[in-house]
Amino acid sequence: MARYRIIVEYDGSPFHGWQRQENYDTVQQRLEEAISPMVPGRTVMHGAGRTDAGVHAFGQAAHFDVSGDFECFRIQECMNAHLVEAPITVLSVEKVADDFDARFGAVERSYLYRILNRRPKPSLEINRAWHVVQALDADRMHRAAQHLVGNHDFSTFRAANCIAKSPLKTLNSISVRRDGDLVLLEVAARSFLYHQVRNIVGSLCFVGAGRWSEEDFVEIFLAKDRKRAGPTAPACGLYFSWVRY
């Protein structure tokens, strides 16, 4: 058996997330089908992050095992040829050690959230960013976000149906900046709670819009109560950026 790692980008809009599910079109299923012409039977793709429905990726990683030894370029060409009608692209293929694990071997994952902050409706950014009409102060959002860096109880930003054993997570970094009409939030950590990033974005938007002060944000974060936080930002603005091993 040989183990390979792939790096993939995709538009998550038409998919029901990463993970294979019966009766739903998913990224994992499409990738497994794309390798099947080379390898008979089902080849399981193990992803670094199980993105939700509608979430995109610039640099999702996955590993898989196959019988035999194939050229990496040949695998990439085969998969992309069978993904030509899907908004998924295999950016690279690399042969890795047998003990490499795309999910459990990751030491840091990064996500980007894109907010289109203007009054006119989007056309090019449909399903690519969250459209927020009210003016946002990215600097205020950035200052408030710095209180999240480090190891904390993130119950305030944890989805009700999160199955993680503990609400404790360590955020390595988080930043918010403006680029024209876009407000961009980047966050990095080893792992995240279910909807953690999208819930953080929803609350930071209250800060950016002047609805909450920085002190209000910190108080609500420390309350460890999801009901006191802001809304869950939509999936369309979230991108899996990269993973580090």
Catalytic residues: 52
Tell me, rounded to whole angstroms, the distance of Cα 237 from its chain centroid: 10
